[in-house]
Amino acid sequence: MDAASALEKELLKHLNDHYDNCRLTIRRAGSDGLSIFGGDKDDKKKIESLLQDTRENAGDWFY
């Protein structure tokens, strides 16, 4: 499993703890970005925090 697939799997697990019927698509791009469809203004900040926590704890789930 490559890093993007592993990140997608782990992040989706965390998102599903907070959101029902959540879908996630990770796309490789030349620059960093996060697009959120639906939800309210605070959802993007919450999801950014979940993403950051997931990335910082990669040692716990990636290897």
How far is 33 from 40, CA to CA, in rounded Å? 18
pLDDT at 1: 67
Give the tens place of pLDDT for each residue, 6-60. Answer: 888 888 888 888 888 888 887 777 777 777 777 788 888 888 898 888 888 877 7
Q: Which amino acid is at 41?
A: K
How far is 1 from 18, CA to CA, in rounded Å? 25
Residue 61 or residue 63, greater confidence? 61
Binned at pLDDT 50, 70 and 90, residue 63 comes out as low
